[in-house]
Chain A
Amino acid sequence: MKIAVLVKSVPDTAGTPEIGPDGRSVVTEHLETVLNPYDEIAVEEAVRMKEALGAEVVAVGLGDEAARKALRTAFAMGADAAVLARRPEEEPLTGKGAALCLAPVLRELRPDLILAGKQAVDDDGAQVAERVAEMLGYLHASAVTRLAKDGAQLVVDREIEGGALSMEFPLPAVLTVEKGLNTPRYPTLPQILKAKRREIREVAVDGEGVRPGWRVDVLSLPDTQRRRQIFQGTVTEQVDNLLREARPLGGLS
């Protein structure tokens, strides 16, 4: 079985991205980049399937330097091979554009299973893997929290509001993974060092037809003015003050 895992580097979630002077671009150079937390879960699941059932795990990235970093992390976690769909990273892609770049690379790889995080926590696009599935004619399921393989059939639980949806379908398939599926391993230092020497196969993507179908008018910071009224005194005094001051709170009255 061949498993492809889509990986992306994102700015560390503990940092705050800034808006560039043009008002339309995001500045993240001051932030550490990490493997997208949901992609970490996808890599972990692929490596666990390899360990349990035997499989070849190929990490697939899109872009240039940042993508290489994500591929190195995948190697350190146990991926067997890495493919970089190479294109300049300065031109941001929409979800449609990213899928157009990745689909031919994956079509050529012909994996039985494609795993990806349910979304990347930078653009929160939440669509590239599903698009790739539709373009390749693979079945797909999003936000998977439980995965079992029963012969050629996959049985998955998907997290939906208020419960879980259980589905069953054959390979080839694309799954996006949700937190809770597994706890990703931390690679050891020797694994990290060894990953630096692994070969990343490059495929140039021409990016034809990836012109965005939207225009960024402006970027803004969310408006989150808070009153910051901190009460003093005993527990009873503070609670009384809260209920008196916060009278407009629908839930408390």
Chain B
Amino acid sequence: MSILVLLEPRGELTSSCLSTVAAAGRLARDTGVELHAVWPSPGIRAQLGRLAGLGIQTVHTVREDVLPPFSHEAWIPFLADLTRSLGARLVVAPASALGKAWSAALAARLDAELAQDCLGLEAAEGGVPTVRKPLYAGKIVATLRLTGAPALATLRAGAAQVVRAGEQTPEIAWHVVPPPELRSVVRELVQNAGGAIELGEARVVVAGGRGLGGPDNWPVLRELCATLGAALGASRAAVDAGWIQHAHQVGQTGRVVSPDLYIACGISGSIQHLAGMRGAKTVVAINKDPAAEIFQHCDYGLVGDLLQIVPALTAAVKQRQRRVA
């Protein structure tokens, strides 16, 4: 018996991918089963150092000229065969766009249940894997005992702390598979503007809403983002008004984030938005309306015009950073 981690299909070990490995590793240790991983991308050798000390026994992969990267059509049949041949009790993947889509396809091939976007993974009595799965964008959390085997789960960033024990790197297992006949072609991967920090990976998120007044005022928030190393988020109101692309939306029909610090600027605090920021460790709200709902859901609130407060905050943080330096 074993647990198999499907590593991020984007070919990079994101922090949410590493926390997925950590959560799976803890479960494998607690239940006394082997931990395997599969790297569905080129360049496994370059990743071995970052996979060291995490308890992975073997990392499985296939040459990229046989199974092209980003192509679930190419990889899913191999992943299904691998899961079966390892007798994996559980397959876990990071809850990224590709991690979730690939897991859904793999679950169908294995005729197995899949719990998406889980917050935690533990063992119930008898070693049965148990996940904490958000429903209604996290307004309710279900504790699900994955009784069927195999089962699949995708895990959000922060599902477990990454703790390394030693320097042991996993063994690489190169699998030989016949080149598949593919009907789909991956044309290109378009990266967003350079330097932008990804919402799901960011430790700090600065988000703007209707209180921003218009799309011309994003530079005020971007300056704070640059100062704090933060990702830029937005409320649905700002996205629906056409002020910024949907990729920035935090909330029930956008991204669900769990940074250490979330700074909500000019966001009233609709229940849909709160659902997206609930996982933040600390929330700072800036709003000119003292009765705004967001103040009921923040740790620290600043009342006033964000176009004055945010630049003042940016300047104060910069001054502090200079002092520390």
Q: Is the CB of B144 within 8 A of A96?
A: no
Q: Is the CB of B203 within 8 A of A251?
A: yes
**A151 → chain B closest CB, angstroms:** 14
Judge whether B160 is part of the interface by a CB distance below 8 angstroms: no
Q: Report the nearest B residue to A176, measured CB to CB.
A: B101
Report the bound CA distance from A212 to B124 in whole Å: 18
Q: Report the nearest A residue to B146, measured CB to CB.
A: A214
Q: Is the CB of B196 within 8 A of A162?
A: yes
Q: Is the CB of B105 within 8 A of A133?
A: yes
Q: Which of B139, B151, B190, B246 contacts A17 (CB 8 A)?
A: B139
Instruction: Give the interface centre of A142, A240, A243, A248 by most chain B CB atoms within 10 Å.
Output: A142
Known contacts: A169-B185, A251-B204. The answer to whether A124 contacts B137 by CB under 8 A is yes
Main secondary structure of the interface of B (DSSP, over half): mixed
Q: Mark B232-256, 1 if CB is under 8 A from A, else 0.
A: 0000000100000111010011100
Chain B residues positioned under 8 Å from A81 (CB to CB):
none
Q: Which of A65-73, A197-205, A226-234 participates in binding chain B?
A: A226-234
Chain B residues positioned under 8 Å from A26 (CB to CB):
135-136, 140
Q: Is the CB of B134 within 8 A of A219?
A: no
Chain A residues positioned under 8 Å from B112 (CB to CB):
96, 213
Chain B residues positioned under 8 Å from A248 (CB to CB):
282
Instruction: Give the interface centre of A26, A122, A252 by most chain B CB atoms within 10 Å.
Output: A252
Q: Is the CB of B316 within 8 A of A239?
A: yes
Chain A residues positioned under 8 Å from B73 (CB to CB):
139, 169
Give the residues from 250 to 281 in chain B that come closer than 8 angstroms, CB to CB, to chain A. 252-254, 260-261, 270-272, 278
Chain A residues positioned under 8 Å from B324 (CB to CB):
253
Q: Mark A166-183, 1 if CB is under 8 A from B, else 0.
A: 111110000000111000
Report the bound CA distance from A219 to B134 in whole Å: 10
Q: Mark A193-222, 1 if CB is under 8 A from B, else 0.
A: 000000000000000000011111111111
Q: Is the CB of A231 within 8 A of B183?
A: no
Q: Which of B105, B111, B140 contacts A96 (CB 8 A)?
A: B111
Q: Report the nearest B residue to A17, measured CB to CB.
A: B136
Q: Is the CB of B141 within 8 A of A219?
A: yes
Q: Is the CB of A239 within 8 A of B105?
A: no
Known contacts: A16-B139, A243-B320, A249-B261. The answer to whether A38 contacts B97 by CB under 8 A is no
Q: Mark A1-28, 1 if CB is under 8 A from B, else 0.
A: 0000000000101111101000000100
Instruction: Give the interface centre of A180, A239, A245, A253 by most chain B CB atoms within 10 Å.
Output: A239
Chain A residues positioned under 8 Å from B140 (CB to CB):
17, 19, 26, 219-222
Give the residues from 271 to 311 in chain B that come closer than 8 angstroms, CB to CB, to chain A. 271-272, 278, 282-284, 290, 295-304, 308-309
Main secondary structure of the interface of A (DSSP, over half): mixed
Report the bound CA distance from A220 to B119 in whole Å: 13
Q: Report the nearest B residue to A181, measured CB to CB.
A: B246
Q: Report the nearest A residue to B113, measured CB to CB.
A: A213
Give the residues from 119 to 172 in chain A that come closer than 8 angstroms, CB to CB, to chain B. 119, 121-127, 130-131, 133-135, 139-143, 145, 155, 157-170
Chain A residues positioned under 8 Å from B63 (CB to CB):
none
Chain B residues positioned under 8 Å from A229 (CB to CB):
299-301
Report the bound CA distance from A199 to B97 in whole Å: 37
Known contacts: A139-B73, A178-B246. The answer to whether A13 contacts B141 by CB under 8 A is no
Chain A residues positioned under 8 Å from B135 (CB to CB):
17, 26, 122-124, 219
Chain A residues positioned under 8 Å from B164 (CB to CB):
none
Give the residues from 197 to 227 in chain B that come closer than 8 angstroms, CB to CB, to chain A. 198-201, 203-204
Q: Is the CB of B143 within 8 A of A217?
A: yes
- What are 19 A-to-B residue pairs whose CB atoms are below 8 Å? A14-B270, A95-B114, A127-B114, A131-B108, A134-B108, A142-B100, A155-B187, A159-B246, A162-B191, A168-B184, A168-B187, A179-B254, A214-B144, A216-B142, A219-B143, A224-B297, A226-B299, A246-B284, A249-B261
B: which residues have CB within 8 A of A? 10, 14, 70, 73, 76, 96-98, 100-101, 103-105, 107-109, 111-117, 124, 130, 134-148, 151, 183-192, 196, 198-201, 203-204, 228-230, 239, 245-247, 249, 252-254, 260-261, 270-272, 278, 282-284, 290, 295-304, 308-309, 312-313, 316-317, 320, 324
> Which 9 A/B pairs are nearest by Cβ-Cβ distance?
A213-B148, A130-B104, A169-B184, A134-B108, A213-B113, A251-B204, A142-B101, A127-B104, A230-B301
